[in-house]
Amino acid sequence: MKLSDKGYDLIKKFEGYSDRPYKCPAGISTIGYGNTYYPNGTKVKITDKQITREYANEILAHTADEFAADVLKLVKSKISVNQLNALTAFAYNVGMGNFQKSTLLKLVNVNPNDAMIAKEFLKWNKAAGKELKGLTNRRIAESALYFTKWE
């Protein structure tokens, strides 16, 4: 199973596009669609040069596909493409380590249709300990996509 356009589009919508490096709310150097690393493994630095939208799309596809593969390794229950899209967008934002130890993942592995999963998405709306409206909106969108039955 692979991400669909809905997965990439959700990430793009909430990460936004920047052709120049910037510091995200957590203080990490970021470029493109929320990327902190380039496909070759080099960490983004605030002094890096400008990139094109096409290259940003390449970085996103590479990184999101890696995240999706890692999500699939951790998810032990049968999930839909929309559930993969939502979980990948979530992990892309919070990091695989946080996803791996999350109650969200535990609930998905017990019962991927558990309504409590929606509340678990919403618990992850802070950066550097501060609640952010943008993250709350993102979690609502991820949860909505997660529970969308049709592709």
pLDDT (tens digit per residue) in 70-98:
999 999 999 999 999 999 999 999 999 99
Res. 55 pLDDT band, cuts 50 70 90: very high
Q: Is 15 assigned a catalytic role?
A: yes
Report the distance separating Cα 110 and Cα 21, nearest Å: 40
Report the distance separating Cα 47 and Cα 40, nearest Å: 17
The CA–CA distances, whole Å, from 21 to 25, 61, 96 equal: 13, 18, 22
- Return the exposure string of 57-94: e unless at least 16 CB atoms fall within 10 Å of the residue's CB, then b: eebbeebbeebbeebeeebeeebbbbbbbbbbbbbbbb
What's the mean pLDDT in 124-135? 89
| 15, 54, 66, 142: the active-site residue | 15
* Average pLDDT in the chain: 95
pTM beyond 0.75? yes
- Residue 120, pLDDT > 70, answer yes
What would the pLDDT profile of 9-27 be if each residue is shown by its tens digit? Answer: 999 999 999 999 999 877 8
Q: Which two tokens stand for residue 73?
A: 């390794």
pLDDT of residue 44: 97
- DSSP class of 49: P
CA–chain centroid gap for 12, Å, is 9
